[in-house]
Amino acid sequence: MADAIKFIFPKIPNLISTIIKHYKNGPPKPSWNLKFHLALVITRLTIDSLYYTKIENVQRFSSKPVAISSDFAVDQVRISNEYRKNAQQHIDNLMKEYEHLIDDEWNKLDNLEELSAEWIYIKENGFMQKEDKRIILYLHGGAYIMCSTGSHRNVTSGIAKAADAHVFAINYRLAPQNQFPAALHDALAAYLYLTNPPKDAGFSAINPKQIVIMGDSAGGGLTIATLLALRDIGLPMVAGAVGWSPWVDLTHSMPSILSKECDKSDYLPPATLQFLPSQAQSRFFERSAALTKKIKQSNKPKIWHKSLDREIRVQQYAANEALSLPYISPLCAESLGGLPPMLLVSISSSYPLNVNLIGHIIYT
């Protein structure tokens, strides 16, 4: 109770102002009721407050598991690093052309904790009891720097119920401690685990045509990046994918990022989050400087826009020079052919509005 009061009290003036504006001027969108309007404002204020804390604290706070109905089972899983080793071979081949743009610490697996994941399913249905299994590989959002499977249980349990499916959510490695392609590496390892599980997994190999990959925000972008990786590696494609406001342009070059309309109605800030100095940030800046030096010394063709030639990182997830890689910003992919059916969801007043453009590219 004390924590709740401490959290809400500084926001009271903003909430009062929001209530007055809601009834005097109307909400930013006609469909918003007061409860939704206040929830969005609280979320926006909470995210704004992240500018004044350390990234480690943000990760700790945002990763706390939420309580869900006892109707659902939550089974914890640890995926052996053998799957990361198998995935590493594929990622190495995929990144050969771009290796000068990538921090090479992603593939150092010695002493690395196993990939953690969890199954969420309707308890009364039992685990993998149906022959026509529906499997959803879920990749959570959080700008690649925060949140977890636990923080998204309201989402994944809702999906499990609505789709009558087993949801397999993974805790992929987060930035800035783990740079690209660590998250993609983990997503691919999870795919390999599902399609070729160990004997003690409790289920038999799952046909990729029974798997849908799904994610929100950064997880939505990672979903499409994983599809591109499966296609380019030549692995069997999954049945489909769903992206909720997928973050597909980390270069922040699309007009929606500067939209005043989005600023009124999106809880996300238009600018990249910056955090207080910390051990993780110091290590990140140190590695960033070393990578930038390596990139400048290479004689490889320049694939980034001159506006990204700056010392300050635009994103915590990857070097500025790498942001236009299709496995980071799928919007920049030369071709989206060969991908499975996709449902991409966005609204007209959110910063990831470019999802509409990527949908157009896929189907034209």
The most confident of the ranges 27-31, 59-63, 118-122, 125-129 is: 118-122
User: What was the pLDDT predicted at 351?
Assistant: 46
Place of tokens 């009364």: 124
Q: Between 275 and 204, whose confidence is greater?
A: 204
Q: Which amino acid is at 344?
A: L
The rounded distance, in Å, linking the Cα atoms of 131 and 325 is 39
The rounded distance, in Å, linking the Cα atoms of 80 and 329 is 29
Q: Which amino acid is at 65?
A: P
Q: For residue 279, how many other CB atoms are within 10 A of its CB?
A: 11
Model confidence at 363, in pLDDT bands (50, 70, 90)? very low
User: What was the pLDDT predicted at 6?
Assistant: 56
Contact, 212 vs 242, CB < 8 A? Answer: yes
The rounded distance, in Å, linking the Cα atoms of 264 and 349 is 8
Name beta bridge partners: 168.
119, 137
Question: pLDDT of 33-70, one tens digit each?
Answer: 888 888 777 777 777 666 678 999 989 988 999 999 99
Burial 222-240 (b: 16+ CB within 10 A, else e): bbbbbbbbbbeeeeebbeb
Give the residue-averaged pLDDT of 166-171: 99
Contact, 331 vs 357, CB < 8 A? Answer: yes
From the number of C-beta atoms within 10 Å of its C-beta (0-12, 13-18, 19+), residue 133 rates as middle
Q: Give domain limits for the chain.
A: 2-52, 72-251+329-362
The most confident of the ranges 25-29, 69-73, 349-353 is: 69-73
- Indicate the range of 9-18, 72-81, 203-212, 253-262 predicted with least confidence: 253-262
Q: Which amino acid is at 74?
A: V
User: What was the pLDDT predicted at 364?
Assistant: 44
Query: What architecture does CATH give domain 72-251+329-362?
Result: 3-Layer(aba) Sandwich (3.40)
Residue 350 pLDDT > 60, yes or no? no
Residue 340, C-beta contacts closer than 8 angstroms, at least 6 positions apart: 227, 237, 238, 239, 240, 241
Q: Alpha carbon 32 to chain centroid distance?
A: 26
Could you tell me the pTM of the whole model? 0.87
The rounded distance, in Å, linking the Cα atoms of 61 and 147 is 8
DSSP class of residue 162 equals H
HSE on the CB side for 69, CA within 13 Å? Answer: 13
User: What was the pLDDT predicted at 130?
Assistant: 77
- Using CA atoms, how far residue 79 sits from 172, 196, 343, in Å, is 11, 12, 28
User: What was the pLDDT predicted at 298?
Assistant: 86
Closest CA to 68 of 171, 152, 2: 152
Model confidence at 360, in pLDDT bands (50, 70, 90)? very low
Q: Between 20 and 72, whose confidence is greater?
A: 72
Question: pLDDT of 185-227, one tens digit each?
Answer: 999 999 999 999 999 999 999 999 999 999 999 999 999 999 9
Q: With pLDDT > 70 as the criterion, what percentage of the chain qualifies?
A: 85
Contact, 288 vs 295, CB < 8 A? Answer: no
Closest CA to 135 of 119, 154, 111: 119
Mean pLDDT of the chain: 87
Model confidence at 72, in pLDDT bands (50, 70, 90)? very high
Q: Between 32 and 161, whose confidence is greater?
A: 161
Model confidence at 266, in pLDDT bands (50, 70, 90)? low
From the number of C-beta atoms within 10 Å of its C-beta (0-12, 13-18, 19+), residue 205 rates as exposed
Give the residue-averaged pLDDT of 70-92: 97
